[in-house]
Amino acid sequence: MNQTNPLSRYSRSLGFTAALLLCAGIATAPAMASSVPITFTFTGKVTEVGYEMGEHFGGPFRLDKPVTGSYTFNPDTPNTGSGSIGQYNGALNDPLNNYPSTNLHVEIETYNGTYVASLGSGDNKIVVKNPDNFNYESYQVKGAFSGDPVTGHNPESFALELAHPGSNQFDNVSLPTTPPTISGFAVKEFRLVFAHSASPDRHTVVVTLETLTAVPLPPAVILFGAGLVALIGLGVRRKVKVEAKVE
């Protein structure tokens, strides 16, 4: 009677596992070519309205109105800064170059609806400052934004800024992949700047941030990782069984 060599069964098992891993790698190669983008969400309230943005000039913005928003960035963006400054140019860039982009999405409640801001096609960057004096540490996300004109003023730029913490917040100038704790900062603002189409006037809408949180990874990414772990575990268990029989 023919008997199957345990080592042969083990080899076939490993071959099967390797084939599955290879197929999974091929199927997900485009998605895994770079790290999965990270999204932070935030909430807050309008605490300052430029004169020509508010009710005195017929603008839509009002104090104390709620704000929600999010931004998505590439955690593999290279650091072009030096020393105590980390600068990550183009961290929010849309990989498909599709602008306006939802890599920034902000909704501000107005007196008669909602103002929506998206990422514009201009420059953007994330800047992390970690000088010797912790009180001057800061985290900034800034760039161009796209949205409707307001009282003759066109969208120009946005900035999310956390600054002047009460204690050390950063160990280095690496790009944070988890949200900084906003309660540790004296300054915690999001700003939209509008520029008049026919003059150098600038008017700003300022939001005081209340929360900054990370969006969990998509379930498909988590399941893919869990599947790889399970396949590797299966191979290890079968290897142990084969070795036990051989002994």
Express each pLDDT in 123-169 by its tens digit: 999 999 999 988 999 999 999 999 999 999 999 999 999 999 999 99
Residue 51 lies in a domain: yes
> What's the token pair of residue 48?
């300052």
State yes or no: pLDDT of 91 exceeds 80. Answer: yes
User: How many Å apart are CA 180 and CA 114, to the nearest integer?
Assistant: 28
Which range has the worst mean pLDDT, 98-107, 170-179, 228-237?
Answer: 228-237
Amino acid 245: pLDDT:
58
Residue 237 lies in a domain: no
User: How many Å apart are CA 120 and CA 122, to the nearest integer?
Assistant: 6
Residue 107 lies in a domain: yes
Amino acid 229: pLDDT:
46
Domain count across the chain: 1
- Total residue count of the chain as it appears in this document: 247
Buried b (16+ CB within 10 A) or exposed e, 183-220: eebeebbbebbbebeeeeeebbbbbebeebeeeeeeee
Residue whose C-alpha is closest to residue 139's, from 165, 162, 172, 173: 162
State yes or no: pLDDT of 21 exceeds 60. Answer: no
> What's the token pair of residue 215?
């969006």
Residue 22 lies in a domain: no
Asked whether 6 and 242 are in contact (CB, 8 A), the reply is: yes
Most confident of 137-141, 217-221, 232-236: 137-141
Secondary structure in 3-state letters for the chain: CCCCCHHHHHHHHHHHHHHHHHHHHHHHHHHHCCCCCEEEEEEEEEEEECHHHCHHHCCCCCCCCEEEEEEEECCCCCCCCECCEEEEECCCCCCCCCCCEEEEEEEEEECCEEEEEEEEEEEEEEEEECCCCHHHCEEEEEEEEECCCECCEEEEEEEEEEEEECCCCCCCCCCCCCCCCHHHEEEEEEEEEEEECCCCCEEEEEEEEEEEEECCCCHHHHHHHHHHHHHHHHHHHHHHHHHHHHC
User: How many Å apart are CA 226 and CA 213, to the nearest integer?
Assistant: 24
User: How many Å apart are CA 107 and CA 159, to the nearest integer?
Assistant: 15
Domain that holds residue 65: 35-220
The count of other CB atoms within 10 Å of the CB of residue 245 is 10
Amino acid 234: pLDDT:
55
Amino acid 217: pLDDT:
74
Amino acid 202: pLDDT:
93
The structure tokens 């609806």 sit at 113
Residue 1 lies in a domain: no
Amino acid 27: pLDDT:
43
pLDDT grade for 235, boundaries at 50, 70 and 90: low
Integer-rounded Cα radius of gyration of the chain: 25
Residue 119 lies in a domain: yes
Which range has the worst mean pLDDT, 47-56, 82-91, 232-241?
Answer: 232-241
Residue 234 lies in a domain: no
pLDDT grade for 240, boundaries at 50, 70 and 90: very low
- pTM listed for this prediction: 0.77
